[in-house]
Structure 1
Amino acid sequence: MMIHRFSFEWLGRIEYMEAFRYQEELKCLRAAGKISDTLLLLEHPHTYTLGARGDPSSFPLDRANLENEGVAFHMVDRGGDVTYHGPGQIVGYPIMDLRPRGLDIRGYVGDLEEVIIRTLKKFGIRGGRSPGYPGVWVDQEKIAAIGIRVDKNGITSHGFALNIDCDLKYFSLIVPCGIRGKGVTSIEKIMDSGIGIDEVSGALIASFGNVFHAEPNLSIAAKSSAGFMGLDT
């Protein structure tokens, strides 16, 4: 089986649109073969996003009031409905060429779910899938959302958001992912104890490499965040 190479970058806490513009730059470079597949890991400040085919009724909030409270809102070109991003949630944006891997969109989403399921397992949490609802669940509560875009060149953008110790009240103000009657949870809520974002990030990187049969570029990894652990796959 072919082993691919991938790079990753830790961007820290970054505004949503700044990260979006960076994804667009990397997509062009990946399509031109100038960079390898890349996994961006980051946090966003308080932000709501609504996908291209999302239902506006899932977002019953006044945007002007949100802005006054320092909460951003963006309409975005990914799949999926409305979701929340904020401190204490790790976001992953893979910029990948799916064509050499022979992956279609459904297979890619399934692989992203598997990355998160394996990551949670490292912390003793049993994550799973819910038929018809993309993302990763613990019982009837979603712990990770997935919303992606694949362009005409087969290059991916957007990705996943895993709740570590974020303030879950922001989800209660919307209909997360347009799914009614289900809850949202986090690693901290399940474990009743704190886990550092570096520890979760390291586990994500290792799981990403395992699922996608890829090895991280350790020189870039070290430059991005020397504190990440778990890079051995």
Structure 2
Amino acid sequence: MKRPCCKGVLVVAELGRVGYADALAIQETMLAEVQEGGADDMLLLLEHPPVFTLGRNAAESNVLVSPARAAELGIGIVRTNRGGDVTYHGPGQLVGYPILRLKERGLTVVGYVDALERMLMAALMDFGIATSSDSRRRGVWVGRDKIAAIGVRVSRGVSMHGFALNVAVDLTPYSYIVPCGLRDCGVTSLHLLKPDVDPARVREAVVSHFISEFGYERARKTELRI
């Protein structure tokens, strides 16, 4: 269900490629500003250099290569404070980190994750891709293949971390992990399903459906110094 009213401005920052540690520092800075009321809700859009990230309760056994082998492959390994298990981030993936006051949007944590899934599903439908969600297996699915992963953290009512949508990312690194701890599922990307889609159009669709799903009046783009 979409938000019952439209209010507020969503600040959107497109950051390009940002290292995971740097992106986490940006999130934590913006999280504090939003918590203290000094900033509007924000959506950070970016991509990461190759990295495996493990959520709070992720099993290290779900990374199937040693740290040394991962380094040889040019892939970092980071333990982080989001929910969820292990996933991969890399070039060609659209990562979104919403910094939102959930109470003002009328959202619980579970309701927020539901809304993220609906938003991504609507954006993908713009490109003719029918998807599904499952409350037992969070994310967005095309059949048994995951196309978008979700992992969040909420601190003092404000969200951080978020979603990762496979647009034109190389899927090979997923073979070195058990994605999201699910051994019986695969992964896919928008590029595999619709090779001619422009990534810029995907970003535009995500922002448009984010505004609609979460009930903002409009978006305002900004630049952040990294």
Q: Same fold (TM over 0.5)?
A: yes
Matched, 1:148 2:149: no
CA contact 2:6–2:217 (8 Å) conserved in 1: no
Q: Which residue of 2 aligns with 1:134?
A: 138
Gap runs ≥5 in structure 1: 225-233
Equivalent position to 1:9, from 9, 13, 21: 13
**What is the root-mean-square deviation in Å for CA atoms of aligned residues?**
1.3
Q: Distance in 2 between matches of 1:119 and 1:132?
A: 22
Q: Normalization by structure 1: what TM-score?
A: 0.91
> Aligned letter for 2:187?
V
Equivalent position to 2:165, from 148, 162, 166: 162
Q: Normalization by structure 2: what TM-score?
A: 0.94
Matched, 1:118 2:122: yes
Q: Which residue of 2 aligns with 1:228?
A: none
Q: Which residue of 2 aligns with 1:195?
A: 197
Q: Which residue of 2 aligns with 1:175?
A: 178
Matched, 1:215 2:217: yes
Q: Which residue of 2 aligns with 1:108?
A: 112
Q: Aligned residues: percent identity?
A: 40
Q: Which residue of 2 aligns with 1:230?
A: none
CA contact 2:105–2:215 (8 Å) conserved in 1: no
Q: Which residue of 2 aligns with 1:96?
A: 100
Q: Distance in 2 between matches of 1:104 and 1:131?
A: 14
Check 1:160–1:30 CA distance in 2 against 1; reply closer, same or farther (3 A cut): same
Gap runs ≥5 in structure 2: none
Equivalent position to 1:186, from 172, 186, 189: 189
Q: Distance in 2 between matches of 1:204 and 1:217?
A: 12
Q: Distance in 1 between matches of 2:80 and 2:196?
A: 31
Q: Distance in 2 between matches of 1:90 and 1:40?
A: 10
Report the CA distance between 1:2 and its aligned residue. Answer: 4.0
Structure number with the bigger relative contact order (C-alpha 8 A, sep ≥ 6) is 2
- Describe the SS at the equivalent of 1:79: coil
